[in-house]
Amino acid sequence: MGGHGHHEPHIPNYTVYNDYKSLPDLARHEKRLERLGLKDPWIRNYAYLFRKPYTVGQWAHLKHLMSWGMKPGIAAAAVLITIEEAYSYAKHGHTSWSGGH
């Protein structure tokens, strides 16, 4: 049970996230907090959210969802409907699409 032969998760050193000042969006967020009289001592923990691969606009996020999540979802729905209709046809002799009840 001690993880013999398994890879342990890599936990990065906290100093990796000290470069958050170089991230313009995070620096703007910190300045907004300062204007409000707030200070976030743990702001470096949010640095990964402001790195370029993670910061996308709403349109890019929607395109990503449509290309990655919606296509397999539509395919899975089509397969499920096909299976249900085939079962209905085999058991009752007609499908729900045939117009009869």
Please count the structural domains in the chain: 2
Domain span at 32: 12-55
What's the pLDDT at 6? 65
Residue 33 has pLDDT above 80, yes or no: yes
Shared-domain flag, residues 87 and 75: yes
What confidence tens digit (pLDDT) does each residue in 52-82 have? Answer: 665 567 887 777 777 777 788 889 999 999 9
What's the pLDDT at 62? 79
Mean pLDDT of the chain: 78
Q: Which residue has the higher pLDDT, 8 or 28?
A: 28
Amino acid identity for residue 36 in this structure: L
What confidence tens digit (pLDDT) does each residue in 78-93 have? Answer: 999 999 999 988 988 8
What does the alpha-carbon distance between residue 31 and residue 25 come to, in Å, rounded to a whole number?
10
What does the alpha-carbon distance between residue 68 and residue 61 come to, in Å, rounded to a whole number?
10
Shared-domain flag, residues 51 and 66: no
CA-CA-CA-CA torsion for 62, 66, 69, 75, nearest 10 degrees? 160
Q: Let me know: does 55 contact 25? Beta carbons within 8 Å.
A: yes
